[in-house]
Amino acid sequence: MKQQLLLLQDVDALGKKGEIVSAKPGYVRNFLLPQGLAVIASANTLRKQERLRAERAKQAVIDRQESEELVKQIEATPVEIKVKVDPEGHMYGSVSAADIAQLFQERGIPVEKKYVQVTRPIKETGVHKIPLKLKEGITVMAQLTIIPEGVNVAGIEKVVAPLPVEEKETEKPE
């Protein structure tokens, strides 16, 4: 049986500050209440709801402005990473969402792991478009170049689409 709660702060995958939401009792008891993220909805707490919604609306404007500034920084900064590959060009390991977020953070752009929307780690070299979902639902496509060690950036096209080596007989003009 789910409980009705008033959120005191934004909670990912549940709701935003000031909303009345339902959650399973274990989640409420073990996470939301001890962390101070929500209170059980009652007549007294429902009076707080309007004040919380007003605060959330102000915060949404600030978050949207921050996200739009972040979009400009992300679009202006393509990131690249060098990885180890075997002789056939296959990567050892992969590039995950945490790795991508760290690459941006190293360049002074505050991108968190939760913003990176890759469903599984990237296991191929080359240029990749990475979707990022920032605060207030603003999305941006970032460019990530995965470069094999020992190959310069200009040679990346050769690695992206390796051609099988086959010896073909050339036709001789008669």
Fold of 77-160: Ribosomal Protein L9; domain 2 (3.10.430)
Q: How confident is the model at residue 152 (pLDDT cuts 50, 70, 90)?
A: low
- The per-residue pLDDT of the chain, averaged, comes to 81
Q: What is the pLDDT of residues 100-150, one digit of tens each?
A: 999 999 988 888 898 888 888 888 888 999 899 888 888 889 899 998 886
Q: Could you tell me the residue ranges of all domains in the chain?
A: 3-62, 77-160
Q: In 43-174, where does DSSP find H-type helix?
A: 43-76, 97-106, 156-160
Alpha-carbon distance of 59 to 18, in angstroms, equals 12
- Residue 109 CA to residue 102 CA, distance in Å, equals 9
Domain 3-62 has CATH 3.40.366.10: no
Strand intervals (E) in the chain:
3-7, 20-23, 38-40, 79-83, 126-133, 139-148
Judged by DSSP in three states, 36 sits in coil
| pLDDT tens per residue across span 68-108 | 888 898 888 889 899 988 888 788 888 999 999 999 999 88
Task: Label residue 173 by pLDDT band (50, 70, 90).
Answer: very low
* Token pair recorded at residue 7: 């959120």
Per-residue confidence (pLDDT) for residue 22, from 0 to 100: 92
Q: Which residue has the higher pLDDT, 90 or 163?
A: 90
Tokens of 70: 């972040």
131: Cβ contacts below 8 Å, ≥ 6 apart: 117, 118, 139, 140, 141, 142
